[in-house]
Structure 1
Amino acid sequence: MSLHDDAVHVLETYDGQEDLRGIYLEHLASRPDGMWKSCEAGHVTASALVIDAARGRVLLTLHKKLGMWLQMGGHCERQDGSLAAAALREATEESGIQGLTLLPGGPVQLDRHRIPAPCHWHLDVQYAALAPVGAVEEISEESLDLRWFAYDEVAAVADGSVVRLLDRTRAALSGRVRG
């Protein structure tokens, strides 16, 4: 299965955000290159919120280009076998933490946001990655900083999309249905 096919399957089976999910599926149906950075109409990206549930905290990166505290994530690469693999690769690369595992059940949230030209949109498929006990982070060249934040600190440092991702991740952790 190609990464494009995997993305279509993931989105077709994703439960929630129907309007946004439809935009993603329409994008992929009309653009065979819709997974790649070279697609100027926009492209699918994969990200993951790194969470230490036992200590009630999340790891955020101070994005080098945007100057914002965000979850780990980025562009899909040709060697990624799935969206989940892309999200896990990005989270591992940007956090430096080995042994991350994705929260079961697929993506936690979709987030579509504008990006500067020549491209126009990131169609982000967002997962949650659980940090192993004793995880030690290591800043990457893509970040200005890397820091753990308690759940109740996130709203003060990050934008609404990260806050919503944290809320949906916590709901998924507690077994509540996403919608």
Structure 2
Amino acid sequence: MSLHADARAVLASWTAPDPAQEQLRRAYLDHLDRYPDALWRSCRPGHLTASAAVLDSSGRRTVLTLHRKIGLWLQLGGHCEPGDSSLAAAALREATEESGIPGLRLLPVPVRLDRHAVPCGGGSWHLDVQYAAIAPAGAEPVLDAAESDALAWFDVTALPEPSDDACRALVAAAVRAVRAAEGVR
């Protein structure tokens, strides 16, 4: 299955948690139907990306990166690459590369969607498909200076500033998903 077909299948089968997320889900599907290059930077109206909130197994801590270009503490993620077999694979690859943590376990379905403006190609949109990943016990992030200015664990109830509402919403959704998957209250 192509990455495009995978993205369409993932979004077609995903159950949005609320009407705003359902509206985004439908917009993403329309975007995929309209643009054969919807997953690549070449798609100037916007392109799908994949990210993940990396949490510890208790769902109490998350790894965030201080994004070099934007200057905000954000989740891990980015552009799809030709070798990615699926959106989930892209999210896992990005989370692993940016966190330096081997052995991450990605929950199988997205936890939310977020559409945000970015400077790609002189101005575009990221249609981000967001997952939750669980780090192995005792995992410590390893900063790659080429990727970010800082990288650290944070309590999910005390995210650092500056951050943004989209990151906070993703972490909250990931906490719910990880706690449900791990049977943690």
TM (normalized to structure 1)? 0.93
Cross-structure match for 2:34: 30
Unaligned runs of 5+ in 1: none
Are the equivalent residues in 2 in contact too, given 1:40–1:120 (CA < 8 A)? yes
Runs of 4+ in structure 1 over 3 Å off: none
Question: Within 2, Cα distance between the matches of 1:11 and 1:128?
Answer: 16
Cross-structure match for 2:175: 170
Q: How many residue pairs end up in the alignment?
A: 175
Question: Within 1, Cα distance between the matches of 2:135 and 2:75?
Answer: 13
Question: Within 1, Cα distance between the matches of 2:140 and 2:152?
Answer: 11
**Change beyond 3 A, Cα 1:118–1:157:** closer
Are the equivalent residues in 1 in contact too, given 2:115–2:127 (CA < 8 A)? yes
Letter in 2 for 1:85: A
CA RMSD of aligned residues (A): 1.5
Question: Within 1, Cα distance between the matches of 2:30 and 2:59?
Answer: 40
Identity %: 54
Cα deviation digits, residues 137-160 of structure 1 (max 9, x gap): 111211000011101111654211
Q: Give the CA deviation at 1:115.
A: 1.0
Cα deviation digits, residues 20-50 of structure 1 (max 9, x gap): 0011011110000010011111100000011
Cross-structure match for 1:8: 8
Question: Within 1, Cα distance between the matches of 2:156 and 2:49?
Answer: 24
1:112 aligns with 2:107: no
Question: Within 1, Cα distance between the matches of 2:140 and 2:30?
Answer: 40
Higher mean alpha-carbon deviation, 117-126 vs 31-40, is at: 117-126
Instruction: State the SS of the aligned residue for 2:11.
Output: helix
Cross-structure match for 1:159: 164
Question: Within 1, Cα distance between the matches of 2:148 and 2:141?
Answer: 12
Letter in 2 for 1:9: A
Question: Within 2, Cα distance between the matches of 1:170 and 1:136?
Answer: 19
Question: Within 2, Cα distance between the matches of 1:145 and 1:155?
Answer: 12
Question: Within 2, Cα distance between the matches of 1:55 and 1:127?
Answer: 14
Letter in 1 for 2:22: E
Cross-structure match for 1:40: 44
TM (normalized to structure 2)? 0.90
Are the equivalent residues in 2 in contact too, given 1:39–1:119 (CA < 8 A)? no
Letter in 1 for 2:7: A
Higher mean alpha-carbon deviation, 47-56 vs 77-86, is at: 47-56
Unaligned runs of 5+ in 2: none
Are the equivalent residues in 2 in contact too, given 1:92–1:98 (CA < 8 A)? yes
Instruction: State the SS of the aligned residue for 2:97.
Output: helix
